[in-house]
Amino acid sequence: MANTAILLFAAGVWAVLGGFYRIAPSAAAFFFASQWMALPALPCQGCGPPWPGAWLPVWVLALCGLLSLGLLAAGVSRLLKLRAQRRLAGPALALGAAALLSGVLGQETLSLRLALLGMALAAALSGLMLWRGTTGAHEHWPWRTALCLPYLAISLLTLLMALFQPAYHVPGLATQLLPVALHVWIPLSLMALAVRRLWLRIAHLARHDSLTGALNRRALDEMLARARARLRRGQSFAWIVLDVDHFKQINDELGHAGGDAALRHIARLLMEECREPDAVLRLGGEEFGLLLPGCDLAGATTLATRLRRRILERPLQWEGRSVVLQASFGVSQARPELDAGDSSDALLQRSDALLYQAKASGRNCVVTEQGEVPA
């Protein structure tokens, strides 16, 4: 009864998360279905009514278990946006079909063995996808291990049952542990993963421009504060501001979607050309900024000159047309006496003035604190 209640509660939580809050809705739908399929499939020794599985032949229960684990694997692949591992998913499906056929033909023990083998594969598949899908900077190994361990346990247990004890109940300690792993830890850990992914996405959106993927103004404020603190300790930084030339004309000719594509194109070029500590920011409209920690005026000028050329050389490809873009640049280096104050925006103002000069002297050029750079 307790297991059934936990299971129905988890199904309800997935329905609310996916259906109401739209958190990973397709993955939540698979998890919801998986919870329902697990209801009759719970391996339970000597359970009678009202246990839903009490009325069904044992090979049907095992098939429900396989289906439940298959839906779980599908949900994991949707949640982590991974393609299911065909080498495991294909055989698990084939085992399910063979188990169904042999059950219908009256070969119950064979059907049970095949379904248990399928369950071992499906559980291994989910564990493998979770391990691979959570590899990265944000997930630490103890958390990843805790996520994957129950799948490994289920996989091993069902494999042993298939090979040595083809009966649909689990002996000894495993009788207690398996339902806990299946119905408590797996839904809880998957819910935590879904919510954590959403939180990371929100944190990403708060600092990035949704059109171009470049950092936004809020990120600029944080990065400038850190750069000013380093400036006070003697490490300089440089700032490049650039504005796409005649962007209104591009919008008029290509339409707003074409203008947006031009902005994404420019942002991609800037990101390709920058080094690891450099930050590419969209300041608004067609204006971008580059914050270059540890860089002096000469380095920033070299980069701006390279960017100006690269933008000219790599036209935007839009609806079969090749559209040449160009931009004007203002470049300055931070100075401790002017720019180290907590809320000083003198550096940005100097660069804006240089950008204005670049526009005034014909556009498509780089103007630094030492004058215009020859083309």
Ligand X SMILES: Nc1nc2c(ncn2[C@@H]2O[C@H](COP(=O)(O)OP(=O)(O)OP(=O)(O)O)[C@@H](O)[C@H]2O)c(=O)[nH]1
Please tell me whether residue 302 binds ligand X under the rule CB under 6 A.
no
Please tell me whether residue 268 binds ligand X under the rule CB under 6 A.
no
* Residue type (1 letter), 218: R
User: Catalytic: which of 139, 286, 287, 319?
Assistant: 286
Closer residue to ligand X (CB): 326 or 370: 326
CA distance 330 to 371: 10
Closer residue to ligand X (CB): 92 or 316: 316
Among 83, 86, 140, 256, binds ligand X (CB under 6 A): 256
Kindly indicate which of the ranges 29-37, 72-80, 163-171, 248-256 contains the residues binding ligand X, using the contact rule CB under 6 A.
248-256
Report the interhelical angle of 186-207 vs 2-15 (nearest 10°): 20
Q: At its nearest, how many Å lie between ligand X and the CB of residue 210?
A: 10
Angle at 140 between CA 85 and CA 145, to 5 degrees: 55
Angle at 167 between CA 164 and CA 172, to 5 degrees: 80
DSSP letter at 361? Answer: T
CA distance 276 to 175: 52
Do residues 257 and 201 lie in contact, with contact meaning Cβ atoms separated by under 8 Å?
no
Please tell me whether residue 359 binds ligand X under the rule CB under 6 A.
yes
Please tell me whether residue 264 binds ligand X under the rule CB under 6 A.
no
Please tell me whether residue 362 binds ligand X under the rule CB under 6 A.
no
Please tell me whether residue 285 binds ligand X under the rule CB under 6 A.
yes
Q: Which residue is nearest to ligand X (CB)?
A: 259
CA distance 251 to 105: 68
Closer residue to ligand X (CB): 72 or 263: 263
CA distance 63 to 58: 9
Please tell me whether residue 209 binds ligand X under the rule CB under 6 A.
no
Among 153, 219, 286, 339, binds ligand X (CB under 6 A): 286
Closer residue to ligand X (CB): 14 or 318: 318
Please give the distance of CA 59 from its chain centroid, rounded to a whole number: 39
Please tell me whether residue 248 binds ligand X under the rule CB under 6 A.
yes
Please tell me whether residue 336 binds ligand X under the rule CB under 6 A.
no
Kindly indicate which of the ranges 111-119, 224-232, 241-249, 334-342 contains the residues binding ligand X, using the contact rule CB under 6 A.
241-249
Please give the distance of CA 45 from its chain centroid, rounded to a whole number: 41
Q: In what order do the strands lie in the sheet with 287-293?
A: 279-284, 287-293, 237-244, 327-333, 366-368, 371-372
Closer residue to ligand X (CB): 245 or 278: 245
Among 108, 139, 260, 369, binds ligand X (CB under 6 A): 260
CA distance 125 to 127: 5
Instruction: Please say if 108 is a catalytic residue.
Output: no
Identify the three-state secondary structure at position 6. Answer: helix
Distances (CA, A) of 262 to 31, 101, 267, 288, 310: 40, 57, 9, 13, 14
Kindly indicate which of the ranges 198-206, 219-227, 237-245, 337-345 contains the residues binding ligand X, using the contact rule CB under 6 A.
237-245
Please tell me whether residue 247 binds ligand X under the rule CB under 6 A.
yes
Do residues 215 and 207 lie in contact, with contact meaning Cβ atoms separated by under 8 Å?
yes
Please tell me whether residue 81 binds ligand X under the rule CB under 6 A.
no
Q: Catalytic residue positions?
A: 286
Q: Which residues bind ligand X (CB under 6 A)?
A: 211, 243-249, 251, 256, 259-260, 263, 285-286, 359, 363
